[in-house]
Amino acid sequence: MAVDLDALRPGFTDDPYAVLKSLRDAGPVQRVETFGVPMWLVTRYPDVRAALDNPLLSSHGSALAEPLRGHPHFASWWFGDLSDHMMNSDEPDHTRLRRAVSSQLTPRRIAALRPRIEQVAAQLASDFADSGRCDLIADFAAPLPIIVIMELLGVPAVDQENFRYWADVVTGLADGDASSAREETSGYLRDLVTHKRTSGDDDLIGGLARSTGEAALSDSELASLAFLLLVAGYTTAVDLVGNGALALLRHPEQLELLQRSSSLLPGAIEEFLRFDGPASHLLRFATQPLMIGGAQVQAGDVVLLSLASAEHDGNRYPRADQLNIERADRQHLAFGHGIHFCLGAPLARLEGEVAFRTLLGRCAGLALDTSQPLSWRVSLGSRGLRGLPVTFRTKPSMPLDEQATIKVPKPL
């Protein structure tokens, strides 16, 4: 009998790891149901890693069984007007799309963003530093990456408040009509692509819009790519900072260790990604009958790859349920594996490093404000907080250069 994951909410949303442990202990593949759809849940690290690289498991909606294609969850992501991107594609389209993006989202371009990310993080921290308390999501973890993404995509300053509002609603960071926000986002991105075709702007979408030959993308592909960067790039960074900060607050000895030695920060980022990473589950669709972990999967079946479960597999990581920022094994699956390994991983790591360096540099005695309950976004694919109230003592900081002061776009 399938385990109904929806029936286990809100507990499964707030803390999925106990449920996933019981399912993992019961076997490598379990029959579950969510959104009213039966799925195969893959729970253990070796099987999840192998499945991520298995060509018989498709990311394209055409492999989904026909009766499920009209299901609201699948229809919006795989068959909507912003679904024509590389996360939903298989070979050979995937390689074509990935090469096009890679030609613009280069390591040099990402590295060049560091001064701007540091500038934004410093300004955000200065805005709340004197108060001794803040919501780390609303005041820091969310505005930092959305500013970076909007500038990377080339969203004009005059449009940024609207754009951030749509992004917050679409990703579940704010309440609102998600369907309407997605429609507004779609129309805006299509207009933006049209503008970038002739603008000569030196941003990511502008560069892709002018690409020719194999790197040339259609309007639909460009708009879908921009949407993918918005959704995946935004929530990944927000959740890396939010989930990582909460993990430190719940493991004060690890927080103290990191505060004593900032050289541990790169390793800490990797441990945050493993311990409570932004991506919790990925969906795949079987194109042919195959065996996974002893289970017979039929063509058209939905396979749910549990990254969250795999990253807590005790046979892969000693004391997997403990946060250890000095952990030597950093071969986690937080950014995927195989052809779909996240192209934005270097940017997410950079944003995470700058965010934590800035936060720990300005805030001493960081503590969870227990007077307010934590709230998690309900999502199958990602895991993140909607708010993280904290208190702290302010550390002195060098004053910002007046020219570095920025206007942070707020959600409407």
| 410 pLDDT more than 70 | no
Domain contains 65: yes
pLDDT at 400: 36
* % residues pLDDT > 70 (the chain): 96
Domain contains 409: no
Any idea what the CATH number is for the domain that residue 106 is in? 1.10.630.10
**CB 298: neighbour CB atoms within 10 A?**
11
Domain contains 86: yes
Average pLDDT over residues 173-177: 91
Domain contains 76: yes
Tokens of 348: 């997410």
Taking the alpha carbons at both ends of the chain, their separation in whole angstroms is: 46
The Cα–Cα gap between 394 and 134 comes to 12
| 162 pLDDT more than 70 | yes
Domain count, the chain: 1
Domain contains 111: yes
Instruction: Indicate if the alpha-carbon torsion angle 209, 212, 216, 219 is positive or negative.
Output: positive
Q: Which domain holds residue 62?
A: 3-404
pLDDT at 411: 45
pTM metric for this prediction: 0.93
| 405 pLDDT more than 80 | no
What is each CA distance from 160 to 20, 121, 197, 204, 209, in whole angstroms?
Answer: 39, 18, 20, 16, 20
Instruction: Single out the residue of 77, 163, 137, 18 nearest to residue 379, CA to CA.
Output: 77
The Cα–Cα gap between 349 and 260 comes to 21
- Which residues lie below 8 Å from residue 68, measured CB to CB, with a gap of 6+? 37, 74, 302
Domain contains 411: no
Lowest mean pLDDT among 49-53, 86-90, 315-319: 86-90
Average pLDDT over residues 39-48: 98
Residue 397's pLDDT band (cuts 50, 70, 90)? low
pLDDT one-digit tens code per residue, 185-236:
999 999 999 999 999 888 999 999 988 888 789 999 999 999 998 888 899 9
The Cα–Cα gap between 351 and 89 comes to 27
